[in-house]
């Protein structure tokens, strides 16, 4: 197939390196607001990520979902990304492990420094 792009600007797609679209993609994988702007890759995890999750994290995420209602069927980041993809989404996705997610995973919401004894909770 050949496309005549004379006089047009052509780009292969744009990367949203600071995407917060995780929950909206779970609710509606079509991603119309970003896709229509040419975003083809959503990168999550700047602060929070889909995993790792403890049972407490899962309960917090369910409460925070607000207008979006969905079951959290994963505990690891890999499982979370796979669950997202299996739901059917338009863009490509990638994720960092969120610093906030790791902190909450190890020390919860306590206002204190992490201790080495907390680090074992991350071993899954």
Residue 39 in domain? yes
Residue 5 in domain? no
For tokens 């206002």, what's the residue? 111
| Element holding 93 (H helix, E strand) | strand 92-95
By residue range, what is the domain housing residue 41? Answer: 14-122
Residue 6 in domain? no
Residue 100 in domain? yes
Q: Rounded to whole angstroms, what are the CA distances from 56 to 19, 60, 85, 93?
A: 24, 6, 24, 26
Residue 1 in domain? no
Domain count, the chain: 1
Q: Are 83 and 73 in contact (CB under 8 A)?
A: yes
The predicted model scores a pTM of 0.78
| Element holding 16 (H helix, E strand) | strand 14-16
Instruction: Tell me 98's DSSP state.
Output: P
Residue 93 in domain? yes
Q: What is the CATH number of the domain that holds 113?
A: 3.20.20.140
Rounded CA gap, 23 and 113, in Å?
29
Residue 57 in domain? yes
**pLDDT tens series, the chain, 124 aa:** 998 999 998 888 999 999 999 988 998 999 999 999 999 999 999 999 999 988 877 777 666 666 556 788 899 999 999 999 999 999 999 999 999 988 888 888 888 888 777 654 554 4
């Amino acid at each position: 197939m050949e496309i005549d792009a004379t006089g047009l600007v052509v780009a292969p797609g744009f990367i949203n390196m600071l995407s917060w679209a995780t929950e909206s993609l779970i609710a509606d994988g079509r991603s119309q607001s970003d896709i229509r702007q040419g975003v083809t890759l959503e990168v999550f995890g700047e602060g929070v990520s889909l995993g790792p999750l403890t049972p407490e994290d899962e309960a917090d995420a369910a409460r925070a979902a607000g207008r979006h209602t969905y079951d959290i069927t994963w505990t690891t980041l890999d499982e979370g990304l796979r669950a997202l993809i299996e739901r059917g989404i338009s863009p490509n996705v990638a994720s960092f492990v969120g610093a906030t997610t790791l902190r909450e995973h190890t020390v919860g919401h306590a206002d204190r420094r992490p201790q080495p004894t907390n680090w074992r909770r991350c071993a899954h």
